[in-house]
């Protein structure tokens, strides 16, 4: 559930739940208390809800049974109404019904259980002559007294007029209604507390806890710990936030690992470059000192020293060129000049050029083309040639000293791809090193004491160029037998365009724009002439 929906539901619960629960609870309490009133005061009629906030009807009906009894006695046996024992019994029963009893004979009050004085009673009580006319409804006396008066007239044994009055104060609160109000107040408190607890539990579970988990995650990141996971458990805004946070953490972790790897590679690069530059520099220094000190005392020795110095300088120059090239390739700052190339013609020329160089080193180069001679690819000829040259030079560098070096170049047609194989019979690569041969600055020869040591970026350059051509490169090797490099290049199809890295696309657009501006300026100058 979305957070916005949760807030709406929370508002509805906060508004509706107390009303619903309170209404149900109060309804139950009211019915229970009304039933208690009926049982306690011996009332037969059923009460309505309106009787709760207007209890006059309850107070009136509570004395109905006693009134009916007194009225019956006044007709059948009026002398009982002057009997003290009977009067006390009736009075005690009226007392339980929150009422009092007054008996008058003539103008005198002969009995009273009311707390009012006789003078006050005379102000309230109607004349005995009117008592028989009041009926069961009684007479409401307002003002200071707020009393409901019911009266029954009778004739005593001497024939004198008398009346029995039932007085019910209307300002009093029935105990059950008092209990009802107290219970209603307690129910409202409990319902509000229960609703608050439910809302707190829900909000704590759906809002506070997710925020705490995110806060814990941010603290981990703050402390540099990126090896944790925040699992998405909710399908809401927090769930989306968790996904974004987890993606951010993974990217930060990846970036951190890449930076750590990059720092390690840079340190390794500095160490490698220091060694690779120091070795030829030491040799150059030694030969220069030999020339300076006259050790090379013949023209032949001097010529040999100079050639050696030149070769060492070329090695250093080549190393610096490789580093510069890789840096530019890695940041996409070398623009590729993509053109449509006939595969057979290109590899025929490339092999012919390589064969001349390898032949001078007594290395056999075999070449075979298997496929359609019209097959074409989209590629940068110069960069692709660099790939072939780097792999071949790598084969020469790691040739076996026990047998003549043989290099085989084969081209195959594989439908959507042109497959190129470059195989040699050199030392081979161990199984543990194969997965890392294309890593930057990685070399299996960690001792760096072999004569074949290099910068460790040649194959990384090869992989970068092939991937920029949307191709794929991998290697198979058996240690002690030889190595085979496999290259897959996309075969050209009509309308095919090879997308370049963004930086290179921007560079090309900028170059075209500059060329257009230069042409426009030239045209304007010619037009003025």
Mean pLDDT, all residues of the chain: 79
pLDDT at 449: 42
DSSP state of 333: -
Give the global pTM.
0.47
pLDDT tier for residue 337 given thresholds of 50, 70 and 90:
confident
**pLDDT of 407 over the 90 cut:** yes
Rounded to whole angstroms, the Cα distance separating 240 from 4 reads 14
Share of the chain above pLDDT 90, in %: 15
Determine which helix (DSSP H) or strand (DSSP E) holds 401, and give its type and residue range. none
pLDDT digits (tens, 9 = 90+) for 196-222: 787 777 777 777 777 777 788 888 878
**pLDDT of 117 over the 80 cut:** yes
> Which residue ranges form the domains of the chain, and what is each CATH number?
3-48+177-207 (no CATH), 77-172 (3.30.450), 226-334 (1.10.287.130), 337-498 (3.30.565.10)
| Weakest-pLDDT range from 65-74, 204-213, 520-529 | 520-529
Averaged pLDDT, 498-510: 51
Rounded to whole angstroms, the Cα distance separating 132 from 147 reads 18
- Residue 103 backbone dihedrals phi, psi, to 5 degrees: -115, 130
Q: Is the dihedral angle over the CA atoms 183, 186, 190, 191 positive or is it negative? A: positive
pLDDT at 517: 67
Written as six digits, the tokens of 332 are 């996409």
pLDDT at 6: 67
Share of the chain above pLDDT 70, in %: 77
**pLDDT of 74 over the 60 cut:** yes
pLDDT digits (tens, 9 = 90+) for 32-54: 766 766 666 666 655 555 555 55
- Per the model's pLDDT, the better-predicted residue between 379 and 248 turns out to be 379
- Per the model's pLDDT, the better-predicted residue between 432 and 122 turns out to be 432
The DSSP secondary structure of 426-489, one letter per residue, reads: SS---TTTGGGTTSTT--S-TT--STT---S-HHHHHHHHHHHTT-EEEEEEETTTEEEEEEEE
- Per the model's pLDDT, the better-predicted residue between 523 and 423 turns out to be 423
pLDDT at 377: 92
pLDDT tier for residue 259 given thresholds of 50, 70 and 90:
confident
Residue with tokens 């709760």: 52
Averaged pLDDT, 478-497: 87
- Per the model's pLDDT, the better-predicted residue between 130 and 466 turns out to be 466
pLDDT at 368: 94
pLDDT digits (tens, 9 = 90+) for 419-460: 999 999 999 988 888 888 887 666 665 444 444 555 567 888
- Per the model's pLDDT, the better-predicted residue between 253 and 332 turns out to be 253
**pLDDT of 403 over the 70 cut:** yes
Averaged pLDDT, 258-287: 77
């Amino acid at each position: 559930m979305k957070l916005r929906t949760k807030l709406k539901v929370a508002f509805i619960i906060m508004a509706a739940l107390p009303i619903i629960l309170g209404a149900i609870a109060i309804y139950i309490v009211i019915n229970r208390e009304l039933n208690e009133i009926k049982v306690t005061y011996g009332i037969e009629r059923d009460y309505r809800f309106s009787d709760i906030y207007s209890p006059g009807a309850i107070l009136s009906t509570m004395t109905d049974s006693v009134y009916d009894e007194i009225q019956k006695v006044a007709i059948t046996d009026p002398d009982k109404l002057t009997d003290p024992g009977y009067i006390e019994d009736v009075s005690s029963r009226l007392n339980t019904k929150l009422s009092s009893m007054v008996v008058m004979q003539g103008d005198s009050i002969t009995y009273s259980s009311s707390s009012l004085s006789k003078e006050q009673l005379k102000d309230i009580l109607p004349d005995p002559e009117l008592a028989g006319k009041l009926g069961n409804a009684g007479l409401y006396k307002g003002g200071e007294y707020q009393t409901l008066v019911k009266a029954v007239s009778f004739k005593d044994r001497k024939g004198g007029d008398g009346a029995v009055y039932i007085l019910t104060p209307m300002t009093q609160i029935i105990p059950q209604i008092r209990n009802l109000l107290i219970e209603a107040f307690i129910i409202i408190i409990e319902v509000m507390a229960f609703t608050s607890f439910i809302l707190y539990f829900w909000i704590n579970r759906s809002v506070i806890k997710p925020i705490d988990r995110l806060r814990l995650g941010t603290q981990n990141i703050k402390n540099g710990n990126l090896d944790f996971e925040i699992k998405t458990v909710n399908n809401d805004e927090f769930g989306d936030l968790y996904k974004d946070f987890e993606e951010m953490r993974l990217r930060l972790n990846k970036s951190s690992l890449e930076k750590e790897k990059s720092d390690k590679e840079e340190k390794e690069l500095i160490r490698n470059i220091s060694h690779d530059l120091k070795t030829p520099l030491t040799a150059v220094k030694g030969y220069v000192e030999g020339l300076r000190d006259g050790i090379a005392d013949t023209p032949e020795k001097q010529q040999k020293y100079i050639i050696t110095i030149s070769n060492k300088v070329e090695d250093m120059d080549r190393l610096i060129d490789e580093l510069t090239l890789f840096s530019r390739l890695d940041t996409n700052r070398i623009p590729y000049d993509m053109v449509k190339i006939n595969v057979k013609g290109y590899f025929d020329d490339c092999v012919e050029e390589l064969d001349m160089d390898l032949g001078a080193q007594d290395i056999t180069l075999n070449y075979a083309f298997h496929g359609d001679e019209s097959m074409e690819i989209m590629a940068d000829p110069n960069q692709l040639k660099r790939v072939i040259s780097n792999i071949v030079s790598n084969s020469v560098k790691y040739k076996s000293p026990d047998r003549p070096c043989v290099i085989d170049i084969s081209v195959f047609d594989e439908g959507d791809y042109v497959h190129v194989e470059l195989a040699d019979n050199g030392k081979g690569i161990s199984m543990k090193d194969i997965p890392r041969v294309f890593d930057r600055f990685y070399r299996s020869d960690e001792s760096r004491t072999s004569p074949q040591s290099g910068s460790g970026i040649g194959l990384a350059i090869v992989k970068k160029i092939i991937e920029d051509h949307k191709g794929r490169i991998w290697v198979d090797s058996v240690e002690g037998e030889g190595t085979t490099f496999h290259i897959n290049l996309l075969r050209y199809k009509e309308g095919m365009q090879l997308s370049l890295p963004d930086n290179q696309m921007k560079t090309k657009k900028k170059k075209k724009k500059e060329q257009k501006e230069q042409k426009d300026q030239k045209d304007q100058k010619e037009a003025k002439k």
